[in-house]
A and B are shown apart, each in its own frame.
Chain A
Amino acid sequence: MKRTIIGVCIVALLAVSVTLWARGTREDAPREVQVLAAMGGDEAIAFGNVLQRFTEETGIPVMYDPQSGDTVITTANTRIASGARLDVLTLSRPGNILEWADDGHLVALNDGDNPLVPTEMLHDNFSQSWLDLVAIDGRYYGVPLKAFSKSVVWHRPASFEQLGLEYPETWQEWMQVAEVMADEGRTPFVISGAEAWTLTDWFENIYARVAGPDKYNDLFIRHGVSWTDPTVVEAMEYFRQVLENDEWIALGRDGAIGLSRDEAMGLVLQDPPQGEMFYLAGFMDRVGRANFPHLTSGEDYSFFPFPQIQPEWGNVVVGGGDHAIAFNDSPEVRELMRFLSKPETAEYFGSQERGAVISPNTNASRHMFTGAQRLEAEQIDSAEVFLFDGSDMAPGAVGGDAMFTALQDFLMDPSRLMESLEYIEAAAQRAY
């Protein structure tokens, strides 16, 4: 008898505590939001501060996991396949985002009666082109979080002054500038080919200016244009004008193929410079600030926009950026997605001392940016056509592999123009 009483007491106690615990997790404490972000270095820390602020404002805890862009897609795919929870992800590859949306893994932001983020809020804060990058039939799948320009040519303004050179606005002028520099015993170009995406960005900038936005998107998103199309060949011929003079390239073509982007930036900024002009992205400013603290960004080193080729396409900027996407619908995720859509959040992210990013939010103030980052923000805001990084919109086997191999091949031996393009075309035929 005594035993039975004790047994009943234990069971009752257990039942009560389980009920209390369940009530507690369901109603009282908000559920933790799991955030995976394709961010590294200072930027990962800066975004961590943004999420920290979210937790302070709302009391919703966040489990934050920043990873490199290479691994984040694998991690996300593994979590999807295994059923492990993942609420919010930030990523710079609209191609992958649309694939997930198509497969039904994502929650549309502006769908239903109680949407994650109301359509008006998105339209108020972001331009249509940014939303369209991750839209299917009017449903938006990502909050634009970060923007950067990849139409940027880094240089030292002092070099241009010494040689009495003007900044080139057209391709022809640019090649003339290079010739003058070479004649004066300088090495005009620094090209980094070790991480091959730097070469895909070169090609994208030329192609956008040769063939215009429609063909550009056709080529990368749908493979509606063949890689052996005359426009593609023409763009590669422009690129070849830069590559074919081995003396024009710092350390020569053999050296360029092994040069990382940080080293390449260093060659321009070091004293004396080993090369004069380094084409890449606005975010290289961070390397300048970190590794050359005695130089002033925007003065000792700066950038001019990638010159025009066909004037009919106007002021084109090729760039990239991240979107935040949601895999689950819950009140906590809703709070976070709305928080990330606010201009105040964008400004807070932009005013981080290190790792600040430029937001695509049109209502966010730009006053906090200095030096070259201010120029970059202006370039993004004033772009007549903003084109998203093409290789990031193409399937991985094309934009992350075949293009890498083919363009490195082309850099080592610029006479292999057609072979390089045929190689990409073969991969594209398999991938689309």
Chain B
Amino acid sequence: MGPVGHNTRGWLFAAPVLLLVTLYLVIPTIWTVYFSFFTGGFRPAEFVGLNNFRRLFTGDRLFLDISSFPWSGALINNILWLVLLPAGAIIFGMTIAVLADGHTWERLIKIIVFVPMVVSNTATAIIFRFLYNMNPRIGFLNAVLTNIGLEPRPWLSSRNYVTLSLIAAAVWIWTAFAMTVFSATYKALDKDTLQAATVDGAGEWQKFWLISLPMMAHAISFVFITIFIQTIKIVDLVLVATDGGPAGASRIIGFSFYWETFQNLDVGYGSAIAVVMLMLLVPVMILQVRRFKAEEQ
């Protein structure tokens, strides 16, 4: 078969996927961008140009408030999420994967750490609502605090704590994922190199820091990108745990998008938020595609 026929066959193989991607991804994305220039419900009513975006960045203190320090709003919260969640999950995941490796109770430890991975975000949100409850009769964390003579803290109901408390819950979930990947990678590391290092007199810490960790760079970047993308998409955890409260203090971009679109039926404004979300994801996607290509070669 000549080159043209080969090409046609390739397109035919790709056609079903292309059709689905066009139908469910490309067209809705174009629609969303289109909606973001309008006001009104699901039927665009009035063209407003960039007004939705202007309001988003200058007129909506729940989305972005830089009038006083510390800055606040869904965007700032999301940046905090994007820094702390992958970092926390990678550090905890790596620590557990390496320390548990070869331990007598390795299996048990891993099973316990893996449990959150099979729990849905909604269930996690409810579990942590109890855990964080202000009333020491209900909230485990505050029960501990009051038992050692401290005051109970409003984990989910104070502006200062709420985002950090929610991130901690998410770290609990994603540590499981990071640990699983790291553990598998760690076990597959080239043992000869490590043995050679031992012979040369390297300590455990040096071996980990100078040999194992660099050899796991690929796994770390994979875990980082996966969690990064998931973080931008989070809605359910915040919605169930706090409804974005108190007073909008725990909103993140995905939540704001959902809230403006479906609660306030301000579809144009919600679409503008979705466009911002997309913009945040584009660099990560480019990075990811480059990585795939590099791996192919």
Chain A contacts to B: CB under 8 angstroms: 70, 74, 77, 81, 193-196, 251, 254-255, 257-259, 263, 267, 274, 396-397, 400-401, 404-406, 408-409, 412
Contacts and interface: CB of A to CB of B under 8 A. Distances in A.
B154 A194 contact: no
B157 A257 contact: yes
Contact of A254 (B154, B247, B263): B154
Given A77-B41, A263-B138, A401 B246 contact: no
Given A258-B133, A405-B62, 12 more contacts: A70-B263, A255-B154, A255-B157, A257-B154, A257-B246, A258-B156, A263-B133, A263-B138, A405-B245, A408-B245, A408-B247, A412-B246
A396 B264 contact: yes
Interface of B: 41-43, 62, 133-135, 138, 152, 154, 156-159, 242-243, 245-248, 259, 262-266
B266 A254 contact: no
Given A77-B41, A254-B154, A259-B134, A397 B246 contact: no
Nearest to A250: B135
B264 A263 contact: no
A254 B265 contact: no
A385 to B, nearest CB: 30
A194 B264 contact: no
Nearest to B245: A408
Given A408-B246, A409-B247, A258 B134 contact: yes
Contacts of A401: 259, 263-264
Contacts, number: 72
16 contacts: A194-B242, A196-B243, A196-B245, A255-B135, A255-B154, A255-B157, A257-B158, A257-B245, A258-B156, A259-B135, A274-B135, A397-B264, A397-B266, A401-B263, A405-B248, A408-B248
Nearest to A81: B42
Contact of B265 (A70, A263, A274, A396): A396
Contacts of B134: 251, 254-255, 258-259
Question: Lowest 3 CB-CB distances: which A-B pairs, in order?
Answer: A258-B157, A408-B247, A254-B154
B202 to A, nearest CB: 51
A405 B157 contact: no
B264 A400 contact: yes
Contacts of A263: 133, 135, 138
Contacts of A397: 264-266
Nearest to A251: B134
B243 A195 contact: yes
Residue among A255, A258, A259 facing the most chain B CB atoms (10 A cut-off): A258
Contacts of B152: 255
B35 to A, nearest CB: 13
Nearest to A420: B247
Contacts of A77: 41-42, 265
A70 B262 CA distance: 9
Contacts of B154: 254-255, 257-258
A266 to B, nearest CB: 9
| Most chain B Cβ neighbours within 10 Å, of A257, A400, A408 | A257
A193 B263 contact: no
Nearest to A80: B42
A274 B156 CA distance: 20
Contact of B263 (A196, A251, A255, A400): A400
Contacts of B42: 77, 81
A251 B264 contact: no
Nearest to A397: B264
Contacts of A255: 134-135, 152, 154, 157
| Best-surrounded residue of B134, B158, B246, B262 (most CB of chain A within 10 A) | B246
B247 A405 contact: yes
